Structure 1
């Protein structure tokens, strides 16, 4: 099955020699514009958001970026197909079948070169007992990656996954669709098992299973640690000194009011209990990490006020 090359630099709008900071900045800018929480066209934004995430998944990782940059001379030819890297190839070992996924959030290009499996999204992992040429044998298991956005991880969702199989010996293809339930509170690295949707068995043996490994999409604002979420909040100096109330946007688009106490400092963490990822015992928490942000420019009047404050203040940095 042909796999179309993806130009991740073009997707993020950065040059090939962009440094890590420029790549991260470009990702966050684009991700905020196309985030499903804020975009009017939810379906279109979700696809674009996942495309941006895929590009950042590769270019934001030094090892994956190096592998991407050395795929071959055709890397910058849109629609071209780079040569296989490191002997990676399509299909399930010993079966000759190739697999392509749809609806996982990752392109076949990503799955072939950077995913958890091999061969356009399908990878046979061990599977079943073999009883000789005449006996029944269980089909191989197939594994692929599944991109899950933070809102999906918060509330759970159902995803339609398509699986196309091709037997290169006959040229015949088959397409099946399966509904995959993504439970609320799912975490990075978890595997979802879809029984009986792996490679077909032989000699009367049962089919293998399909396993989808969860890859949480990078969010431009939130960081995920276990079931807890972390969010940076920039504060004006006067709000840090005097205290304030800030509206905190939650995954999914809703917001909650957070009281910032007077005398807050950079690095302080304010806990919003129960606003993290769901889990059986109790949901995780949301930690808001404070950072004081000074204005880059001030008016003449503002400068006079700051100078007056410096004259009258008895505060000594580093001494509380």
Structure 2
């Protein structure tokens, strides 16, 4: 494909002045020194501050978690890693990619030759095995009920598949790149290497057609927000590449009653002072459709607020229903706990003459709900500390995504008067 010579030989600066030693007999053409700046969409004269600003802007747009292209994201990271280092930037400005292609793993992920990363079509060093086409990511919104009970969703995707034979690109001669001549001034020209627009830098072309595929996406019990469900080899087909993967990213919807952290659930409950002192009962519908009755034990008092033993912060009074949280992923029979943060409402006035009959005179006394113990489960509360919230259920291995941002912990609650 390159006539037996060394690919990208024209990048080498003739003679021995190049870092790492030049190769004798090389071309005297100037090296390509603009690709990294173009990747970050900045000028060669940009300051470090401007380069950093451009990097943060582009990395947010092209991050794979936000549906961006993984390869483009690697290019942006590699370009920034080189241009943000004054020494490496100086070498690149003088020698091009040859001056910084030192075997370092730029851009994160698997090691990839810089020439292959930015221009495609075969750099000097190729990683073992065929390259993969870009992976795709799709968000899939699921309810907390779906994550509690598990669910299988059928989703249709459209992908490109190759039809017929793969041919070498006539436009670039199978190299994946084109040389453009630029005039710098009177009598001064330079050659700039560009990715071939006809083959996208692959060096090969092929006819493709759109194929509709229906995938069954299985949401397991206890899966977490931002977790991936991967279908290997289901992305678009490109010439001489393995198809990339399709990742469905779990997006947990907000719930009207429950907030989640790990395998634990949190609910908030307003109670009157009468209920706080003399007891209360509360029937709720759980995520699997069960009606459960939450009750205080006889003589149990609900405090207005409590102080965290470690931080000293004022927190709502917390109680817990054991084993009524989320199922643990991989071991759904082990569940987290259900935490309840109480908010006690105080009356505005209280006659001293009725203190002896406090329970009967306080507003909002608990009304015992009628239910059949044979049909409705009874649960009694245990005292708990908020620092244990999020640690219930079976132990699981660390995940690529941190679920701390799923709902967060409860905010401090102060007693209010009604």
Q: Check the 8 A contact 2:160/2:236 in 1, yes or no.
A: no
| SS of structure 2 residue aligned to 1:139 | coil
| Cross-structure match for 1:284 | 336
| Cross-structure match for 2:302 | 264
**Alignment partner for residue 345 of structure 2, among 282, 293, 297?**
293
| SS of structure 2 residue aligned to 1:238 | helix
Q: Output the CA distance in 1 between the equivalents of 2:218 and 2:146.
A: 11
Q: Output the CA distance in 2 between the equivalents of 1:177 and 1:293.
A: 53
Q: Check the 8 A contact 1:274/1:286 in 2, yes or no.
A: yes
| Cross-structure match for 1:161 | 155
| Cross-structure match for 2:141 | 147
Instruction: Work out whether 1:191 is the aligned partner of 2:223.
Output: no
Structure 2 vs 1, CA of residues 230 and 154 (structure 1 numbering), >3 Å: closer, same or farther? same
Instruction: Work out whether 1:182 is the aligned partner of 2:222.
Output: no
Give matches, 1:113-128, under 5 Å. 116-118=66-68, 123-125=69-71
Q: Output the CA distance in 1 between the equivalents of 2:160 and 2:237.
A: 12
Q: Check the 8 A contact 1:124/1:143 in 2, yes or no.
A: no
Q: Which runs of 5+ in 2 are unaligned?
A: 1-56, 75-108, 123-128, 162-197, 199-206, 305-315, 359-418
Q: Output the CA distance in 1 between the equivalents of 2:357 and 2:133.
A: 76
1:187 to partner: Cα distance: 0.8
Q: Output the CA distance in 2 between the equivalents of 1:237 and 1:89.
A: 49
Structure 2 vs 1, CA of residues 311 and 156 (structure 1 numbering), >3 Å: closer, same or farther? closer
Give matches, 1:69-148, under 5 Å. 116-118=66-68, 123-125=69-71, 132=121, 137-148=131-142
Q: Which runs of 5+ in 1 are unaligned?
A: 1-85, 94-112, 297-302, 315-320
| SS of structure 1 residue aligned to 2:259 | strand
| SS of structure 2 residue aligned to 1:241 | helix
1:115 to partner: Cα distance: 6.5
Q: Output the CA distance in 2 between the equivalents of 1:275 and 1:200.
A: 46
| Cross-structure match for 2:285 | 249
| SS of structure 1 residue aligned to 2:218 | strand
1:171 to partner: Cα distance: 10
| Cross-structure match for 2:322 | 273
1:156 to partner: Cα distance: 0.6
Q: Check the 8 A contact 2:64/2:137 in 1, yes or no.
A: no
1:308 to partner: Cα distance: 4.0
Q: Check the 8 A contact 1:163/1:177 in 2, yes or no.
A: yes
Q: Check the 8 A contact 1:116/1:213 in 2, yes or no.
A: no
Count of residues in Structure 1 that have an aligned counterpart in Structure 2: 196
Q: Check the 8 A contact 1:137/1:201 in 2, yes or no.
A: no
| SS of structure 2 residue aligned to 1:140 | coil
Q: Output the CA distance in 1 between the equivalents of 2:151 and 2:346.
A: 41
Q: Check the 8 A contact 1:221/1:231 in 2, yes or no.
A: yes
Q: CA RMSD in A?
A: 4.1
Structure 2 vs 1, CA of residues 114 and 198 (structure 1 numbering), >3 Å: closer, same or farther? closer
1:254 to partner: Cα distance: 2.2
Structure 2 vs 1, CA of residues 310 and 235 (structure 1 numbering), >3 Å: closer, same or farther? same
Q: Output the CA distance in 1 between the equivalents of 2:286 and 2:256.
A: 13
Q: Output the CA distance in 2 between the equivalents of 1:162 and 1:295.
A: 57
| Cross-structure match for 2:375 | none
| Cross-structure match for 2:185 | none
Q: Check the 8 A contact 1:140/1:200 in 2, yes or no.
A: no
Structure with more of its chain in strand, by fraction: 2
Q: Deviations over 1:131-181 (max 9, x none)?
A: 946x953222112222221001101101122223579x9996443221110
1:87 to partner: Cα distance: 6.5
| Cross-structure match for 1:31 | none
| SS of structure 2 residue aligned to 1:152 | helix
Q: Output the CA distance in 1 between the equivalents of 2:320 and 2:353.
A: 31
Q: Deviations over 1:200-231 (max 9, x none)?
A: 2422x321111122221111221111110001
Bigger Rg, which one: 2
